[in-house]
């Protein structure tokens, strides 16, 4: 993968451990950086929890009128789906990340390019650190609140827990890659707001945030899963958590996420290379 070969000459064990300690150090810094914004964390928690109530009542009303189940979910599974989604929103960080675009606009991106590390790897490592912080402080509180007020589905199989964690990790990587590409559009457009608006509008729908993609016709569901990275952002970990499908399908969902993670990271490195070729550093 270009990501690795750009950083080390040959992928030996020593190089691999050096790379792992490097990404670990950057991830740790990402964790520390986000842990300094405690009030922002509290504000996000309050917002996510409030929207959790709103969405749960809507979902329960829908499943109530539809019968005992809807699109393969029981009421408790849909409640679980909503609250896990509210918790994961801050972990995958669907919206609100424009650091790279701002650095491109200001020209500060030049300092990213002067470090002996591929920019995609550097930003990804920092994002994994941020996600680890969010997993500890933004994921659990909404779920606890949801579980206290509603009957929410908790996994019955033990294997679901590691599968869920792997799925969350892949969701973070897929979401990071999408955000990186949206931000990198600023290399060409400078004003990336149009692309960001498109991402805001489509990611929530395709990711299954507003409603499970299984509410849509079968052909649309297949198109979304295999033709877009959308469901890999949120739908996959949420479906795994509420055990909508059997173990084999849950593993398959992780396979789809892995495919999108590898593909999109590769696209990020290609886009970065193209951007560097035509780059004009803003502001001298």
Partner 1 sequence: MRVIDVRGLRKEFTVRVRKTMLRREKRVVAAVDGVDLRVERGELLGYLGPNGAGKSTTLKMLTGVLHPTAGHVSVCGFTPVPQRIKLARRIGVVFGQRSQLWWDLPLRDSFDLLKAIYRVPGEQHAAQLKRCRDLLDLDSFMDTPVRQLSLGQRMRGELTASLLHSPEILFLDEPTIGLDVVSKQAVRGFLAELGARGDTTIVLTTHDLADIERLCSRIVVIDHGKVVHDGSIQDLHLRYGSRRRVIADFDVAFTYPVDLPGVVLESSTGTRLVFAVDEVGPLAAVLAANGSLRDLSIAEPEIEDVISRLYQTPAGQVG
Q: Judging by DSSP bridges, how do beta strands 69-70 and 73-74 pair with one another?
A: antiparallel
Shortest gap between Cβ of 48 and partner 1 (angstroms)? 22
Shortest gap between Cβ of 113 and partner 1 (angstroms)? 5
The binding site for partner 1 (CB under 8 A) comprises: 6-7, 18, 21-22, 25-26, 29, 32-33, 36-37, 107-108, 110-111, 113-118, 122, 276-277, 279-281, 283-284
- Alpha carbons 14 and 20: distance in angstroms, whole number: 10
> 14 vs 249, which CB is nearer to partner 1?
14
SS3 assignment, position 7: coil
- Alpha carbons 173 and 253: distance in angstroms, whole number: 15
Q: Which residues of 185-221 are buried (b: 16+ CB within 10 A; e: fewer)?
A: bbbeeeebeebbeebeeebbebbbbebbbbebeeeeb
Shortest gap between Cβ of 4 and partner 1 (angstroms)? 12
> 18 vs 191, which CB is nearer to partner 1?
18
- Alpha carbons 152 and 254: distance in angstroms, whole number: 23
Shortest gap between Cβ of 270 and partner 1 (angstroms)? 16
> 40 vs 247, which CB is nearer to partner 1?
40
Phi and psi based region of residue 12 (left: phi greater than 0; alpha: psi -120 to 50; beta: remaining): beta
> 144 vs 273, which CB is nearer to partner 1?
273
Shortest gap between Cβ of 110 and partner 1 (angstroms)? 6
> 32 vs 193, which CB is nearer to partner 1?
32
SS3 assignment, position 74: strand
């Amino acid at each position: 993968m270009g990501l690795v070969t750009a950083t080390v000459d040959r992928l030996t064990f020593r190089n691999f451990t050096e790379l792992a300690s490097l990404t670990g150090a950057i991830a740790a810094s990402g964790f520390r950086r986000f842990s300094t914004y405690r009030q922002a964390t509290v504000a996000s928690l309050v917002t996510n929890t409030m929207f959790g109530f709103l969405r749960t009542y809507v979902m329960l009303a829908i499943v109530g009128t539809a019968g005992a189940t809807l699109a393969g979910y029981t009421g408790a599974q849909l409640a679980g789906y909503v609250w896990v989604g509210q918790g994961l929103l801050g972990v995958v960080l669907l919206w609100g990340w424009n650091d790279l675009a701002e650095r491109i606009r200001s020209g500060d991106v030049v300092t990213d390019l002067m470090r002996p590390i591929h920019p995609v790897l550097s930003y990804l490592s920092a994002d994994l650190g941020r996600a680890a912080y969010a997993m500890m402080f933004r994921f659990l509180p909404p779920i606890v609140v949801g579980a206290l007020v509603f009957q929410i589905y908790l996994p019955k199989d033990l294997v679901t827990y590691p599968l869920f964690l792997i799925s969350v990790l892949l969701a973070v990587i897929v979401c990071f890659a999408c955000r990186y590409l949206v931000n990198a559009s600023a290399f060409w457009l400078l004003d990336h707001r149009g692309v960001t608006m498109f991402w805001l509008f489509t990611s929530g729908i395709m990711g299954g945030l507003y409603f499970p993609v299984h509410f849509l016709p079968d052909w649309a569901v297949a198109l979304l899963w295999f033709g877009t990275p959308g469901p890999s952002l949120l739908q996959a970990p949420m479906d795994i958590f509420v055990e909508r499908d059997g173990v084999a399908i849950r593993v398959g969902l992780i396979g789809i996420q892995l495919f999108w993670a590898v593909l999109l990271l590769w696209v990020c490195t290609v886009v970065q290379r193209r951007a560097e070729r035509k780059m004009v550093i803003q502001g001298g």
